[in-house]
């Protein structure tokens, strides 16, 4: 186990709950803490990456931002899993839909996370690794989504290293392979969880539809994706009681 505090998280084991919700945006982490957690305490603010711990329905839960991209979530999730004793990380982020049938504000569960990243290369595997969500987290989250009446979709997403891709037809190629939506973090999170023998799941709200051109504002992405947040928190509570 590495020493603590780490260069990126100024905390100690015990400061985090067993489950951490991980939005990309530090302001979304702050919003979740202030609007859903009881007695939230700021446990990390290195580089403005805010992390809070409080309780939700009597269960100790944490929320901390990951920043954007696989290198960033790779750092924070590795440290949470391997240094701070976290068992479950639920990415709660935004995603761009690649289907006209997956609407703005629908929830997408990343059962698998395809990627154009070389993140897996560090593991020196003799083949291609398929980053997947933890089944117990996924099945629990699906039941929680049903309970709140969410419109949701389950399947393969793309974790991309490129927001602005030089290949104009890149999205179309992934779409042909059944990719539902694009984001930038889940594959690295899933790989870190696999390597640490921990659990991870990406719960994503559709912020824009790449097919239809519909989109939400930055403020809406920060503050209005509350159904996703509730599903993630209810999942954290359910996992605590298993």
Note whether 185 and 201 are within 8 A (CB): no
Task: Map residue 103 onto helix, strand or coil.
Answer: coil
* Catalytic-labelled residue, pool 25, 106, 134, 208: 208
Asked if 208 is an active-site residue, the reply is yes
DSSP-H helix ranges across 156-225 = 170-176, 186-196, 218-223
**Secondary structure of the chain: what % helix, strand, coil (to 5)?**
35, 25, 40
How many C-alpha atoms does 21 have within 13 Å on its Cβ side?
A: 36
Dihedral sign (CA 164, 166, 168, 170) = negative
Cα 145 to Cα 48, 67, 117, 183, 218: the distances in Å are: 31, 25, 30, 20, 24
Neighbours of 156 (CB within 10 A): 17
Note whether 94 and 228 are within 8 A (CB): no
Q: Is the peptide bond before 5 cis (omega within 30 degrees of 0)?
A: yes
Query: Could you give the residue numbers annotated as active site?
Result: 208
């Amino acid at each position: 186990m590495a020493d603590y505090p780490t260069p990126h998280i100024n905390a100690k084991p015990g400061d985090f709950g067993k489950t951490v919700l991980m939005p990309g945006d530090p302001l979304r982490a702050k919003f979740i803490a202030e609007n859903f957690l009881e007695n939230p305490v700021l446990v990390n603010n290195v580089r403005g990456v805010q992390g809070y711990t409080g309780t939700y329905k009597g269960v100790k839960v944490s929320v901390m931002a990951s920043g954007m991209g696989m290198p960033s979530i790779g750092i924070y999730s590795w440290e949470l899993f391997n240094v701070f004793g976290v068992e479950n990380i639920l990415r709660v982020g935004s995603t761009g839909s690649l289907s006209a049938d997956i609407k703005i504000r629908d929830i997408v569960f990343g059962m698998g996370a395809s990627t154009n990243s070389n993140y897996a290369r560090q593991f020196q595997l003799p083949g291609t690794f398929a980053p997947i969500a933890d089944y117990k987290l996924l099945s629990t989250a699906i039941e929680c989504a049903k309970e709140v009446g969410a419109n949701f979709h389950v399947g393969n997403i793309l974790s991309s290293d490129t927001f602005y891709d030089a290949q104009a037809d890149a999205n179309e190629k992934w779409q042909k392979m059944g990719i539902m939506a694009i984001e930038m973090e889940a594959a690295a999170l899933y790989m870190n969880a696999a390597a640490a023998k921990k659990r991870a799941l990406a719960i994503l709200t559709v912020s824009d539809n790449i097919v239809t051109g519909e989109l939400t504002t930055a403020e809406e992405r920060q503050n209005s994706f509350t159904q996703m947040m509730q599903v993630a928190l209810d999942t954290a509570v359910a996992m605590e009681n298993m």
